[in-house]
Amino acid sequence: MKKIFGITFGGVQRKTLRLVLLVLLLACAMFTGISLYQNRQLVRVVEDTRTEQQTSISTLSSQTMRAVIDGSLTSTTQLQAQLADNDFLEITRNLYTLQSMAQSLLEKREDVIPQPVSPPLASMDGASAAYVLTEEGVDYTQSELLGVIAHLSSPMIAMHSNSEKIDGCFIGLEDGTFLCVDEKAAVKLDETGRPLSFPVRERPWYTGAIEADGLNYTDVMPDTFSGRLLVTCSIPIRAGDELLGVVGLDVVLESMDDFVSTSTEGCYAYVVNSNGRVILGPEGGGILAEEIDRQSDLREDPALLELLALAQTKNTGLRTIDLKGQAYYAVGAPMPSVGWSVLNIVDQQLTQQSEVQMLADYDGINQAATAKFEDGVGKTRTLGFILFAAVLALSLIAAYISTKRMVKPIEQMTKSIQSSSVSGKLFEMKDEYKTNDEIELLAEAFADLSKKTKRYIKEITEITAEKERIGAELSLATRIQAAMLPHIFPAFPDRAEFDIYASMDPAKEVGGDFYDYFLVDDDHLCMVMADVSGKGVPAALFMMASKIILQSCAMLGKAPAEILTMTNQAICSNNQEEMFVTVWVGVLELSTGRLIAANAGHEYPVLKKPDGSFELFKDKHGFVIGGMDGIKYKEYELQLEPGAKLFLYTDGVPEATDAGNALFGTERMLEALNSAQDKAPLEVLKTVRGAVDGFVQDAEQFDDLTMLCLEYKGSETRK
Amino acid sequence: MLNITKTIEDGRGTLSLEGRLDTMTAPELEQVVRDTIPGLTALTLDFAKLDYISSAGLRVLLSAQKQMNKQGSMKLTNVNETVLEIFEVTGFVDILTIA
């Protein structure tokens, strides 16, 4: 028993509780393990799914975006390029027309009557008008060429007024004169109304065309007078090999400017000329601001080189290029008539914004869901722990109560058994032990055992008492038997004629041997040596009867043969158990030394003549007493001389056995007798006894040991 | 120690004894004789290997002889000198048939 928190726990309870605790802990560990595993799996699945979905969204989105951009940007660029090119196509056609007209006029100038031209007038302003300007110090009236060219004034005015895109139409000549058609005559005059000088042959469009020896476009630049964005296209006029001048048209770029300026942050449109320089770009320059500022060749950038090279001839389609470390979509389309290209560049990040936003939104939703899930898991875990604790506590209490209930009958049984062992009361079956299980069986077994033990103790007590009683009775019987035999020595202190000594040592408490001697009358001593078949109480009882009958018969003064015959008759009449007794009986006439004896199956007597040694006397034998009815016994007569000795014994002497089952035998007996042949009967018996003990040593005394020795001293002594 | 070998044939029984027939072993022979004797017309006791016989053994022989006298005959065979001497001393030679 063990006390914990004041509650007593028995061994069975402790073991059961331990078992319950173990099972619960194992179950809990298992469930925790499984739930943790599941949790982890779930988190992994969510994570994987998230990644997959994001990848999928991202891929799908970028593919979609690319498709959309590809479609729109490519076509837009194409359209822009075509529209712009159309304008230039028309203008170029006009320019060529004008050039050929000028060439044909100049080739036959001798035949052409010069047409007058005037310098610009303030009144000309606001409508298409032709006027002349000159380089510093040149007199246009001296020019041979100008008057010829002036014939083109009308077609030039028509050209100018018919096209919104043509801001001005002019022809510069090698002699420093300049025929111009536009609506801005007033700005060519100084404050005094005199025309400003115009360095015609230094203008870029003039030098550019000569240098190109063909169609040339200048850079885009604001108009000298109006500030509008203009580009001048020009072409030289030759008569044969002789350069005579340059025809030029100022083209308003407003329409192109429209789509270029539609550029927004991250989405830029450019017009690039054949030299790789940006002609038009968004305000601020956009992504290519630096290149525009430096007026550098875009083809220096290898990414753009390829694109621009391709864009010279055809629509490039949507391409992805790397600019300044960032990815851009780019589409280029050619403007064949001018050799330019339209370039649209779109920041991929811009196109990916929706995707990024979508991913972010999706991620947000995902994270919210994960957070909710984790929150839920946490709550479930907490709830699980609380539940487990509750289940544990309840289980332990339940186990405690159930084991208590289970163990209670056992405890009561233990108490009951302990108290019954003290009080000696019977352990009884009670209702509380009837649990319908092993406890009931145990209780039944205890009750049974208790009853049996009580009965057994009672029996043992009785048997012990009986044994003690028998022992006491036997010890009393031993004394009675011993007392029945003559046992006071010297037996006849007043008789000098003889000395007699006898002893009986029964193998058990009582024996079947006996000796007897008594004076039948003053002159006759009767001696008896007998051995009842068997040993112990039956032999002793038979011996008592035999002794009394023998003595009674002898006391009648009968002769030994008759004594035996009478005794046999008496015993046989009442002998159911086939018991018998061997008897030697002799009557010694003390006065004469005449001994008359009869032997009923007893051992041979041993005689010693006065001057001789002890010797067996092989007398006549009759059958044992009690064996057969109606036996007649014979007697014989011996003459004892004074000094003669007679030794009688039972078979216990010669048949004493040592540990090796060897018999003592008559030889050893005679030897022992002769070693003490001259001694008194007491000494003779002691010597024989000593010899037997020395022979037998530690072996158990097997038979009764009975001896008698008579020494006849003669009647003379008495007289 | 006493070993008893029993053979019965046509109402004729033979008991061969080996060892000592004394107070301790006599009851064994008595029991065997009591079980064997009913219905026997002849009983032979073979004493060839019997070393010793005590008065208790003599009693069993007497009892058996008396019983066999009523229903047939009993004889002893191969009696050795020691045992024969005991028979002579006790006068049993007069009532037993010793072959």
Where residue A712 falls among pLDDT bands split at 50, 70, 90?
Answer: very high
How many domains in chain B? 1
Mean pLDDT (whole number) for B52-63: 87
Q: For residue A190, what pLDDT is reported?
A: 84
More confident position, A357 or A249: A249
With respect to CATH, is domain A257-351 assigned 3.40.1710.10? Answer: no
Locate the chain A residue with the closest alpha carbon to B21: A534
Q: pLDDT at position A646, please?
A: 94
3-state helix, strand, coil in chain A (%, to 5): 50, 20, 30
Extract the tokens encoding A217: 């476009």
| A340-347 β-sheet, strand order | A278-280, A267-272, A340-347, A326-335, A319-323
Put simply, the answer to whether B91 touches A621 (Cβ < 8 Å) is: yes
How far is Cα B85 from Cα A192, in angstroms, rounded to an integer? 203
Q: How far apart are CA B21 and CA B51, in angstroms?
A: 8
**Domain ranges (residues) in chain A:** 102-252, 257-351, 431-473, 486-712
Does the pLDDT value for residue A167 go beyond 80? yes
Q: What is the largest CA-CA distance in chain B?
A: 35
Residue A587 burial class via C-beta count within 10 angstroms: exposed 0-12, middle 13-18, buried 19 and up: buried
**DSSP 8-state class, residue A57:** H
Does residue A327 surpass a pLDDT of 50?
yes
Sign of the Cα torsion A257, A261, A267, A268 reads: positive
* Domain A102-252 matches domain A486-712 at the CATH topology level: no
Question: How far, in Å, are A313, A327, A571 from residue A330 at the CA level?
Answer: 16, 10, 157
Q: The tokens of A518 are what?
A: 């008594």
pLDDT in tens, A182-236: 888 888 888 888 888 888 888 888 988 888 888 888 877 777 666 677 888 899 9
**Mutant choice from A513, A580, A705 vs B, greatest count of B C-beta within 10 A:** A580
Residues of B with CB under 8 A from a CB of A: 20, 22-23, 26, 52, 54-56, 58-59, 62-63, 66, 88-92, 94-95
pLDDT for the residue A216: 85
**Predicted pLDDT at A608:** 93
Work out the burial of residue A309: count CB atoms within 10 Å of its CB; fewer than 13 is exposed, 13-18 middle, 19 or more buried: middle
B-interface mutation test, from A568, A571, A577, A578, most B Cβ less than 10 A away: A578
Name the packing angle between helices A11-107 and A153-162 (round to 10°). Answer: 160
Tell me the average pLDDT across A166-185. Answer: 88
Shortest distance between the Cα of B44 and any Cα of chain A, in A, equals 20
Option in A535, A604, A624 nearest B91 (CB):
A624
The model's confidence at residue A348, banded by pLDDT at 50, 70 and 90, is confident
- Torsion over CA of A569, A570, A572 and A573, rounded to 10 degrees? 110
Asked whether residue B99 is assigned to any structural domain, the reply reads no
Q: What is the CATH number of the domain that holds B86?
A: 3.30.750.24
Range of the domain at B19: 2-94
Q: Alpha-carbon distance A116 to A151, whole Å?
A: 9
Chain A positions in Cβ-Cβ contact with residue B58 (cut-off 8 Å): 533, 580, 624
Q: Answer for the pair A402, A409: CB distance below 8 angstroms, yes or no.
A: no
Q: For A378-396, what is each residue's pLDDT tens digit?
A: 888 888 889 888 888 888 8
Q: Does domain A102-252 have CATH number 3.30.930.10?
A: no
Question: Which residue spans within A382-427 are E strands per DSSP?
Answer: none
Contact call for A532 and B58, based on CB within 8 A: no
CA distance B35 to chain A (A): 17
Q: What is the per-residue pLDDT across A398-412, written as a single tens digit (0 to 9) for each?
A: 888 888 887 888 888
pLDDT of residue A259: 67
- The answer to whether residue B36 sits within a structural domain is yes
pLDDT of residue A444 exceeding 60, the answer is: yes
The whole-angstrom separation of Cα A89 and Cα A93 is: 6
- CB proximity list for A381: less than 8 A, separation 6 or greater: A35
| Cβ–Cβ below 8 Å for A702 and B23 | yes
Strand order in the sheet with B2-9: B2-9, B12-21, B42-53, B73-77
A to B CB pairs, distance under 8 Å: 64
Q: Give the pLDDT confidence score for residue A635 in this predicted structure.
A: 92
The pLDDT of residue A719: 41
Long-range contacts, A370-374 (Cβ 8 Å, 24+):
A370/A43, A370/A46, A373/A42, A373/A46
Distance from CA of B72 to the nearest CA of A (A): 18
C-alpha to C-alpha distance for A625 and A528, rounded to whole angstroms: 13
The CATH code of domain A486-712 reads 3.60.40.10
Largest CA distance in chain A: 239
The answer to the question of residue B69 being in a domain is yes
CB A584: neighbour CB atoms within 10 A? Answer: 27
Nearest alpha-carbon partner for A675 in A694, A662, A661: A694
Taking an 8 Å cut-off on Cβ atoms, the answer to whether B95 and A578 are in contact is: no
* Interface mutation target, options B82, B89, B95, B96, chain A, most CBs of A under 10 Å: B89
Q: Residue range B41-53: average pLDDT? A: 91
Quick check: A718 pLDDT over 60?
no
Listed residue (A644, A645, A627, A633) closest to A687, CA to CA = A645
